[in-house]
Amino acid sequence: MQEIKSLSHWIKASGFTVILTGAGMSTESGLPDFRSKSGWWRNIDPSTVATVDALETNYSLFHDFYSMRLKTLEACSPHEGHYILAEWEKRNLVHSIVTQNVDGFHKAAGSSRVYELHGSLRSIRCSGCGKPGTVEDFLDRVACRSCGERLRPGVVLFGEMLPQDAWECALRDIKRADLVIVIGTSLQVYPANQLPTMTKGRAVLINYEAYSGGSRFDMVLQGKARDTLIELNRIIHKSKVS
Ligand code: APR
């Protein structure tokens, strides 16, 4: 496949590469994505569970949904693609990772410069006083031990602001990048879906389903994240040896 060979050259020639990932980066770890046929939103209306309104007016449904996601997460782990991206950071082939994912897999695989635009499922906090809580207390529906309010995961709910520091770092790096590689996202959710259009460099999409959005890409590779990263890494290693 000539395109994947060209991409390996772009990666090696780039002085500043940023990776943008979505839920498709973690489906091969066993975590469902949201909008493909086996995704969370196929059977659940996000407005009933992933909003502040759901947190405030329907805590039992909110709690059931995020407890299920936390338990699913506990049974899953990063796959080889996450580890390859972490290795590329160590080899200065990748500068940073911007992720919409809340599974923490990029950091767990060893990537250090990771901007979690939508927060992290395992970072529990009180919805009232904001003090940190534990996953165990959240799962057991224990109220905040400081103020008695309800606990929630530290994920960005629809309608909430993104963590400012993560967004600003992501935007700074994307603007500066020579190469942005977008992996496993339908690019349906604002403002993350604006990022690929904000780089001065090349933009590449690796996605399982065909992309029908408006962003322009210099290359679109239709395929699975893990397999594509393994193949890319093989080519890069081979060319390095020779
Ligand atoms: N390899 C590559 N692409 C994949 C794979 C895979 N193994 N598995 C799924 N995909 C693709 C799907 O075809 C789909 O186009 O990943 C994309 C995932 O899109 P979504 O399910 O919409 O997930 P995402 O884009 O990350 O959603 C963004 O929406 O609900 C919110 O906060 C949630 O962060 C999430 C945001």
Question: Given pLDDT bands bounded at 50, 70 and 90, which one contains residue 241?
Answer: low
Fold of 36-75+122-155: SIR2/SIRT2 'Small Domain' (3.30.1600)
User: pTM for this one?
Assistant: 0.97
- CATH fold match for the domains 1-31+78-118+162-242 and 36-75+122-155: no
Q: Is the pLDDT of residue 1 over 80?
A: no
Question: Given pLDDT bands bounded at 50, 70 and 90, which one contains residue 240?
Answer: low
> What is the per-residue pLDDT for 242?
47
Question: Given pLDDT bands bounded at 50, 70 and 90, which one contains residue 91?
Answer: very high
Average pLDDT over every residue of 48-54: 97
Average pLDDT over every residue of 27-56: 96
The residue nearest atom 10 of ligand 1, judged by CA position, is 24
The residue nearest atom 1 of ligand 1, judged by CA position, is 224
State how far the Cα of 33 lies from the Cα of 42, in Å rounded to an integer.
Answer: 10
1-31+78-118+162-242 is classed CATH 3.30.930.10:
no
Q: Bigger pLDDT: 38 or 242?
A: 38
Question: Domain coordinates of the chain in residue numbers?
Answer: 1-31+78-118+162-242, 36-75+122-155
> What is the per-residue pLDDT for 216?
87
Active site residue 118: yes
Tell me, using a 6 A CB cutoff, whether residue 24 lines ligand 1: yes
Tell me, using a 6 A CB cutoff, whether residue 208 lines ligand 1: yes
For the stretch 98-154, pLDDT in tens is 999 999 999 999 999 999 999 999 999 999 999 999 999 999 999 999 999 999 999
Q: 79, 82, 118, 237: which is the annotated catalytic residue?
A: 118
Report which ligand 1 atom has the smallest distance to the Cα of 33: 21
Question: Given pLDDT bands bounded at 50, 70 and 90, which one contains residue 82?
Answer: very high
Determine the residue of 19, 26, 35 to mutate for testing ligand 1's pocket, defined as the one with the most ligand atoms within 8 A of the Cβ atom: 35
Tell me, using a 6 A CB cutoff, whether residue 47 lines ligand 1: no
Q: Is the pLDDT of residue 34 over 50?
A: yes
Share of the chain above pLDDT 90, in %: 95
Tell me, using a 6 A CB cutoff, whether residue 28 lines ligand 1: yes
Tell me, using a 6 A CB cutoff, whether residue 34 lines ligand 1: yes
For the stretch 187-214, pLDDT in tens is 999 999 999 999 999 999 999 999 888 7
Distance in Å, CA 111 to ligand 1 centroid: 20
Distance in Å, CA 166 to ligand 1 centroid: 20
Q: Which of 8-17, 95-104, 211-220 has the lowest mean pLDDT?
A: 211-220
